[in-house]
Amino acid sequence: MYLIYIDESGNSGTNLQNPQQPVFALGALIIPESRWQRLESDLEKAVEKNFPGPRPDNFEVHAKELISGDNYFKSFTIPQRLALRDDWLDIAAAHELKFVCRAITKKRLQRWIHHSMGAGVALNPHVVAFPLVARVLDNYLRDQGPHTLGIFISDENKEIVRDVEKAIRALRVIEGDLRLGQIVEKGFFIDSAKSLPLQLCDLCTYIARKREEMKIGRPERSIDRGAYEKLEPLLHRGNESLLDVISWLKEGQKKGRPGESSTGSANGPAHSGRHK
């Protein structure tokens, strides 16, 4: 069994014109169940080393706050904050974890939606990225053995919980390359503040998003230098079955399937959530 932690970065809902967050990224951290306890222990030790207690009861390593020095991290220097970032990435590499990520440029997605589905359709990028990432994850699990299973564990983002659950159910029974044959039926949604592996996934996804923003012209920040090089050994790339996902999304929009909706429907109003 593999525990697959999923988190997003750059979430602005169906607002695809947010200039502060031009890229959405969905990341998945793959953890063998046999390594979970040791991993959590090592992550906790790194926190204690870099930010000795006492810490607030609601302490959380939230990537944006850690890197930018917001909230709890405001009183710490840049080298102190980056030390934890690098320690956590080194721990992930030492445990031979794998990370799958799909980044979506929002303006490009909006142009595709308007061209393919019409100007009145609004899609949350999470709905587009999820089946792409899920396809790679399912193939990865199958490569570990025909009976290898994985379970999805996601942050409690009420904006997309229903859509993710519907997508998992739909993709488990669909025929063809998109079918999820290695994923257990129901995903789990937990408070990220209570899960160090989920916080690690958030960090990896944040770094991947910043890398993609550079590719579309955003200048590299000095504080981000070196992060992607540490993330690179974790990356697992696979076949996303992009054309199949596009067809699935188009067909789903016609039938009102999970997450594919007109403006103001189940996806809710456009907002930036936690600005992850």
Please determine, for residue 243, whether its predicted confidence score (pLDDT) is greater than 70: yes
pLDDT digits (tens, 9 = 90+) for 185-217: 677 888 898 999 999 999 999 999 999 999 999
Condensed to tens digits (0 to 9), the pLDDT of residues 17-29 reads 888 899 999 999 9
- For the chain, give every domain's residue range: 2-262
**Average pLDDT for the chain:** 86
Write out the H or E segment, with its range, that includes residue 78: helix 78-94
**With pLDDT > 70 as the criterion, what percentage of the chain qualifies?**
88
The sign of the CA dihedral 245, 273, 17, 263 is positive
Confidence of residue 253 (pLDDT cuts 50, 70, 90): low
| More confident site: 168 or 266 | 168
CATH number for the domain running over 2-262: 3.30.420.10
Query: Measured between alpha carbons, how far is 112 from 100 in angstroms, rounded to an integer?
Result: 24
Q: In what order do the strands lie in the sheet with 188-190?
A: 98-105, 23-32, 2-9, 150-155, 188-190
The pTM for the full model equals 0.87
Q: What is the pLDDT of residues 38-95, one digit of tens each?
A: 999 999 999 999 999 899 988 999 999 999 999 999 999 999 999 999 999 999 999 9
Tell which residue, 208, 231, 274, 213, has the closest CA to residue 11.
274
Give 113's pLDDT tier (boundaries 50, 70, 90): confident
> By the 8 A CB rule, do 196 and 43 touch?
yes
